[in-house]
Amino acid sequence: AQKITQTQPGMFVQEKEAVTLDCTYDTSDQSYGLFWYKQPSSGEMIFLIYQGSYDEQNATEGRYSLNFQKARKSANLVISASQLGDSAMYFCAMREGKQAGNMLTFGGGTRLMVKP
Amino acid sequence: EAQVTQNPRYLITVTGKKLTVTCSQNMNHEYMSWYRQDPGLGLRQIYYSMNVEVTDKGDVPEGYKVSRKEKRNFPLILESPSPNQTSLYFCASTHFSGRRYEQYFGPGTRLTVT
C-alpha cells in the first residue's frame, strides 16, 4: 500500500481564496511526523510545515496550516489567501518512528495553479 | 544566511566514471540527507545521516555511497554511474528541536549519465 497518497494531481484556485491540498498516509507506528514541501517551477525544494503525531494542535506557519485528522490518517495542507507565487508543486511526506532524522517517504505531489 | 550548497549544479558524464556530488551546510545541523527526483516517481530518499559517522540507507541506496566525516559535509558518491542514475538530486539539512523542524534544501544537481 502507498504510504503517502495525494489524490489531486492538479488544482486551480482563485487568487486571495483559500485552498486545501489533500494528503492521506498509512502507518502502523504510533510516533511519526508529517511534512509539506513546495517546489516552484524554478525547481528548488522548500520546507513549509511539520506536524508530529503527538501534537494535539494543528501546525501553522503564516498562511499555511496543516489540518491533522489522526483517526482519518489525513494531513491536509490549507493555504489561506492564495497568492500568484503559491503556484507550484506541493509534496506531502511522512517520517515514521521517533528519530527526527529517519527516512522520509513522499507522495506524488499536487500541482497548484493560482488564477489572477 | 542559512545555506545548503551543492556542487556541481549540472553534470553530464559517462557510464562507469566515478563522481562525487558535494553537499555542505552552514547551520551546524545534525541531520543531512540525499534525495533523487524522477518524473512519475517523485522524490525518494537515497541515504540519510543523523550525525557525524552515522549514516543509514533510505529507499533507493543501490549504486550510491555517502560519508559524514564532518558535520557540515555530506558528499554523495557514485562509484560506477549508470544511465538509470540520471536524475535530479537534492541534499537537505535538518534540525529538530522539541516540536519544531527546520529544514533547508540545496539547489539541486541535475545529473545525466550517458
> Residue A52 and residue A98: Cα distance in Å, rounded?
10
pLDDT beyond 70 at A100: no
Tens of pLDDT, residue by residue over B36-92, are 999 888 889 999 999 999 999 998 999 999 999 999 999 999 999 999 999 999 999
Tens of pLDDT, residue by residue over A21-59, are 999 999 999 999 999 999 999 999 999 999 999 998 999
How many distinct helices (H) and strands (E) make up chain A?
A: 0, 12
Task: Tell if the CB–CB gap between A107 and B42 is shorter than 8 Å.
Answer: yes
Tens of pLDDT, residue by residue over A82-92, are 999 999 999 99
3-state secondary structure of B58: coil
* Contacts with A, B 37-76, CB within 8 Å: 42-45, 48-50, 56, 58-59
> What is chain A's alpha carbon radius of gyration, rounded to the nearest angstrom?
14
Specify whether the CB–CB gap between B106 and B24 falls below 8 A: no
Which of B44, B99, B103 lies nearest to residue A55, judging by beta carbons? Answer: B99
